[in-house]
Amino acid sequence: MRKFEDITEQEMQEMQLEFAPGCFDDFEGTQEELDQLVAAITAAFKSGEFARESRELTDEEFEGLSETTQLKLLDMTDPNAPNKRTLN
C-alpha cells in the first residue's frame, strides 16, 4: 500500500477528490459556508497545496480534539475498518 507522503504533487493534481458520505454531518454552518469549505479543500488538493502543507498532528493537537473526532481519525487509520479507502 502506498503512503500519502509518497504521492507526488503531479499525481495529487491528477487524482479525483471524493468526499465520503456523511463526512460533513458534524459541520455547523450554512450550506453556503459548506460549499465554500468544499471548494477551498478541492482547490488546495488540486493545486498541490494540500500535499505541501500537510503534516502529522502533534499529541497535544490530537488530545485537543473532541472524542468523536479522535475516534473518527483513529478509524480512518485502521486497515480493518469498514469502508476503508486506500491509495492503491
53 in a domain, yes or no?
yes
66 in a domain, yes or no?
yes
47 in a domain, yes or no?
yes
pLDDT digit string, tens, across residues 13-60: 788 888 888 888 889 999 999 999 999 999 988 888 887 887 888 999
22 in a domain, yes or no?
no
pTM over 0.85: no
15 in a domain, yes or no?
no
Report the C-alpha gap between 42 and 50 in whole angstroms.
9
5 in a domain, yes or no?
no
Contact predicate 85/20, CB 8 Å: yes
Least confident stretch, 11-15, 58-62, 65-69: 11-15
Domain that holds residue 54: 28-81
Backbone angles phi, psi at 33, to 5 degrees: -65, -40
Q: Which amino acid is at 80?
A: N
State the Cα angle at 76 between 72 and 78, rounded to 5°. 115
The tally of domains found in the chain comes to 1
71 in a domain, yes or no?
yes
87 — pLDDT class (breaks 50, 70, 90): very low
1 in a domain, yes or no?
no
